[in-house]
Amino acid sequence: EVQLLESGGGLVQAGDSLILSCTASSFTFDDVPMGWFREAPGKEREGVALMRSNNGTASEGGTFYPDSVKGRFTISIDNTKSTVYLQKTRLKTEDTAVYHCAVGGRLTKEAKKYVYWGQGTPVTVSS
């Protein structure tokens, strides 16, 4: 069974940077859809970085970032460590949420189309 474990969340100040990690057991991040989603109180789960990997890089379809994080968030993978990262810079208070990684299924902004999910790591950005 595939298990995903996120780490790296915490309390930071606006303008800071943070790197989240998602390590998989019994899984290789290759030629599969993957992504980072966030869930803020009272809001729907939102995809903030989505990609389909190909030999450790984004496949021809590239990556997707919503306008709210474009230019600030970057998704990357290290298949030697079975880990996908989310690098976050210039954090804003509205980035406060629980961040989950997800893999498998279909490359889409719809969270329900992904098969495997981690438990999430909370990120709080203070002003």
Q: How far is residue 79 CA from its own chain's centroid? A: 15
Q: What tokens does 81 get?
A: 């460590």
Provide mean pLDDT across the span 122-127.
Answer: 98
> Virtual CA dihedral for 10, 80, 113, 40, nearest 10 degrees?
10
Complete DSSP assignment for 63-114: EE--TTTTTTEEEEEETTTTEEEEEE-S--GGG-EEEEEEESS--SS-GGG-
pLDDT tens by residue, 43-68: 999 999 999 877 666 655 578 999 99
Query: Max alpha carbon distance in the chain (Å)?
Result: 40
pLDDT tens by residue, 59-102: 555 789 999 999 999 999 888 888 999 999 999 999 999 999 99
Q: What tokens does 104 get?
A: 């498998």
d(CA 53, CA 14): 31
| Closest by Cα among 34, 12, 10 to 118 | 34
